[in-house]
Structure 1
């Protein structure tokens, strides 16, 4: 299945671009990776397994980028991540998690809200399946994995479009 996933593109929203004082929400960002799969592909768990095995998944999100042979994914050891750790959640729950992370008490700049809507919330609205990576616990945190204050990961499956979007929202 891994050979059937093709990386199509990426988007990166760095909150620092939208704020005048980086101490105010300037260390938050959202990274989106789009991968295409064949429409007749297997069930969602098979797609999650293919994503975990794809080189685009091998990113520690700490500035090093994708490392094709890398042992880390975000704050976690890659070897400990399995499809079963992804919990299916509703669009409403995903939006709630993200809105709470963005900060409901902050007056989000219009340009940032527009970019979040286009790159994240519109994708959530069209997804057939939304999966959220559960907290893996201390034993899964890699040697310097605590660089992220928050790490939220969603996998959005859009079967009609034949796309998976890996959405990571984090602070560092």
Structure 2
């Protein structure tokens, strides 16, 4: 009998966190916003996008409430939603420019963005999105998908960037406190 070997297509690599409070805004109106970027290594670049999204949802790092609790291996929350209410069909394919435009617009929500923050966003978020093979946006889910305190974020934006050339998948979450 042949032994079946399960190969993990994604593995967590590292994380970057951009806190708007760390930048000098002219008006002081940073809106308590931040961007969290989780990077995963793609071991099998030919894996189809839906399988990658399914694997991402199954990752321990996906179980993050983004409200100070951090990643919980046994967690039941992802951002404002119950983890078990999120499926691959909840991710909508978007153009790379649509993803960049949405996040740039969100960053300017309370006025102009300091040059240093623009440079950081360009390096960590916008450039990787522009070079991605494909990008997906988590659509706004039904109110029944919100967990018990899921309305804590005024804004919650999530994008997944798949880059087959660099063998990276980025989970990009932009929100406020």
TM-score (norm 1): 0.94
Does residue 81 of structure 2 align to residue 43 of structure 1? Answer: no
Structure 1 residue 37 displacement after superposition:
1.5
Number of the residue aligned with 1:155? 160
For 2:18, the equivalent position in structure 1 comes to 13
Q: Please, what is the CA RMSD of the aligned residues?
A: 1.8
Moved over 4 A (4+): 20-23
- Secondary structure at 2:157's aligned position in 1? strand
In the aligned structure 2, how far is the partner of 1:171 from the partner of 1:22? 17
Q: Distance in 1 between matches of 2:143 and 2:105?
A: 23
- Counterpart CA distance in 1 for 2:46 and 2:97 is 26
Could you tell me which residue of structure 2 aligns to residue 135 of structure 1? Answer: 140
1:70 paired with 2:48, answer no
Q: Please state if 1:54 is matched with 2:54.
A: no
Partner of 1:95: 100
- Larger deviation, residues 99-108 vs 9-18: 99-108
Match of 2:87 among 77, 82, 89: 82
**Which protein shows a greater Rg?**
2
Bigger drift between 11-20 and 129-138 goes to: 11-20
Task: Provide closer, same or farther for how the CA distance between residues 23 and 77 of structure 1 changes in structure 2, counting only shifts above 3 A.
Answer: farther
Q: Provide the rounded CA distance (Å) in 1 between the counterparts of 2:169 and 2:149.
A: 28
Q: How many residues are paired up?
A: 172
Deviations 1:38-93 (A, max 9, x none): 23442000000000000000000000110001000000000010011100001121
Q: In 2, are the aligned partners of 1:149 and 1:170 still within 8 Å (CA)?
A: yes
**Cα 1:127/1:40, change in 2 over 3 Å:** closer
Q: Deviations over 1:144-163 (max 9, x none)?
A: 01110100000000011111
- Shift in Å at residue 22 of structure 1? 9.3
Alignment match, 2:151: 146
Query: How does the TM-score come out when normalised to structure 2?
Result: 0.91
